[in-house]
């Protein structure tokens, strides 16, 4: 049986209190620079990251509900902007997840994983840094593009249907790249992915 000294008890209560006091910010427009506990994009709305410079930090998770979209806006002012999610990016039946750092002064860091299921319109992740696993499954979209991301874990792409473009290219992946049951298979690419593990099934030659 654990003996709770006053100091240990105070520390445990502080952790519980911090968790209980975590707030969720509903984003239905522009998410301004600042620090947030958790961010949620409500069903059938759109959330775009601010392009006004500065830092956006989400200490918990960033979640996208059914029919909702999460976007990065086009940067016109050239001001460096950093987005950091300490937890994970979670999408369940979202419409579009389109995040890009390519040819911009934007940095997007997701320290946990990315877990997207049932997306209905577009999945486009360009130039993100993802600490954990990138998992995309059971989505029916026009555009499916995972390009030049740095992923600490594995990339798992399963049972998706794509009608226009299906690209998985130029990613640096610490684990394996596994693609199974997708219609069609990912398009061949000259910009191969670099993996620490294995390239499996439909992604064997990517």
Tens of pLDDT, residue by residue over 136-166, are: 999 999 999 999 999 999 999 999 999 999 9
Nearest CA to 100 out of 141, 46, 48, 59 is that of 48
Q: Is the pLDDT of residue 42 over 50?
A: yes
Does 206 map to a domain?
no
Does 110 map to a domain?
yes
Does 47 map to a domain?
yes
**Radius of gyration over alpha carbons of the chain, in Å?**
18
Tens of pLDDT, residue by residue over 63-93, are: 999 999 999 876 556 677 899 999 999 999 9
Rounded Cα distance between 180 and 203, Å, is: 8
> Which two three-digit tokens encode residue 144?
């499916």
- Residue pair 127/100 in contact (Cβ under 8 Å)? The answer is yes
Give me the pLDDT at residue 98, please.
Answer: 95
Write out the residue range of the structural domain in which residue 79 sits: 24-201
Rounded Cα distance between 21 and 197, Å, is: 40
Does 10 map to a domain?
no
Distance of CA 27 to the CA centre of its chain: 16
Look at the alpha carbons of 87, 107, 138, 64 in this order and tell me if their dihedral is positive or negative: positive
String of b and e for 63-99 (b: at least 16 CB within 10 Å)?
bbbebbbbbbeebeeeeebebbbebbbbbebbbbbbb
- Residue pair 32/7 in contact (Cβ under 8 Å)? The answer is no
Q: Is the pLDDT of residue 14 over 80?
A: no
The domain total for the chain is 1
Give me the pLDDT at residue 15, please.
Answer: 41
Does 15 map to a domain?
no
Does 13 map to a domain?
no
Q: How confident is the model at residue 16 (pLDDT cuts 50, 70, 90)?
A: very low
Peptide bond into 184 cis (omega under 30): yes
Does 9 map to a domain?
no
Does 4 map to a domain?
no
| Kind plus residue range of the DSSP H or E element containing 16 | helix 6-20
Give the predicted TM-score (pTM) of the model: 0.87
> Which two three-digit tokens encode residue 121?
């319109």
């Amino acid at each position: 049986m654990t003996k709770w000294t006053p100091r240990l008890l105070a520390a445990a209560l502080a952790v519980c209190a911090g968790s209980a006091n975590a707030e969720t910010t509903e984003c239905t427009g522009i998410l301004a620079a600042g620090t947030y506990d958790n961010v949620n994009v409500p069903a059938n709305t759109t959330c775009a990251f601010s392009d006004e410079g500065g830092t956006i930090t989400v200490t918990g998770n960033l979640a996208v509900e059914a029919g909702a979209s999460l976007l990065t806006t086009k940067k016109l002012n050239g001001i460096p902007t950093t987005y950091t999610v300490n937890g994970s990016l979670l999408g369940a039946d979202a419409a579009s997840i389109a995040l890009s750092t390519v040819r911009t002064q934007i940095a997007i860091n997701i320290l946990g994983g990315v877990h997207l299921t049932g997306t209905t319109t577009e999945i486009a992740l360009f130039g993100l840094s993802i600490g954990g696993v990138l998992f995309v499954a059971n989505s029916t979209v026009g555009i499916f593009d995972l390009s030049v991301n740095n992923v600490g874990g594995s990339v798992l792409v399963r049972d998706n249907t794509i009608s226009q473009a299906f690209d998985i290219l130029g990613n640096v992946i610490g684990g394996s790249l596994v693609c199974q049951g997708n219609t069609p298979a990912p398009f061949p690419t000259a910009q191969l992915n670099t993996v620490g593990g294995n390239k499996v099934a439909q992604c064997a030659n990517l």
